Amino acid sequence: MTSRFLCTATQQKSTGQNLEEDQGQSQNEQKTEPTPAEKTLIEDKVKLEEQLKDMTDKYKRALADTENLRQRSQKLVEEAKLYGIQGFCKDLLEVADVLGKATESVPKEELRDENPHLKSLYEGLVMTEVQIQKVFKKHGLLKLNPVGAKFDPYEHEALFHAPVEGKEPGTIALVSKVGYKLHGRTLRPALVGVVKGS
């Protein structure tokens, strides 16, 4: 009886394994062969995932482009505020030059109490020149008078090169016309004579 019981248990056990194997095989068959409707759904899902990925990428790029445009626009506005008066300043530089030439051309020995008209005219010119330089400075326009400085092609324009005793080559020996910078940007280079090595 015991041997018979063992045979039955073994048979049931093997039948159970066979049943599980049959179920596993039928599931594998189902997995490998989806219905046409499932195939369509899977394809649609893949397409939608690709579209989502594409749209997310485009969205991120659009955000980055918008941020770049905002930053560029902000920079242009700031530069327009700083350099918008550039044309006006250039025109005023000629006025400052004329005032400077006028004060330089007055002979200093003639500025005496015996000649009060010339003296008061000269003092008026000097005060006007000082005032215009104050206005220039207030608006970020600085005078460049680089005598003795090293030649810088961004700030100076060389009119000539000449050997000068006791001066280092490459330095500025003479300033023919002063230059100006507007907020650190050269508005007009100084016209200079540069020391040449002998």
Residue 158 pLDDT? 94
Rounded to whole angstroms, the Cα distance separating 18 from 23 reads 9
DSSP secondary structure, 58-123, as one string = HHHHHHHHHHHHHHHHHHHHHHHHHHTTHHHHHHHHHHHHHHHHHHHHS-GGG-STT-HHHHHHHH
Residue 69 pLDDT? 96
Residue 107 pLDDT? 87
Residue 83 pLDDT? 82
Residue 26 pLDDT? 52
**How do beta strands 190-195 and 156-162 pair?**
parallel
Q: What is the pTM of this model?
A: 0.62
Domain 141-197 has CATH 3.10.28.10: no
**Average pLDDT per block of 10 residues along the chain, 198 residues long:** 51 52 53 82 93 95 96 92 85 91 88 85 92 93 92 93 89 93 92 88
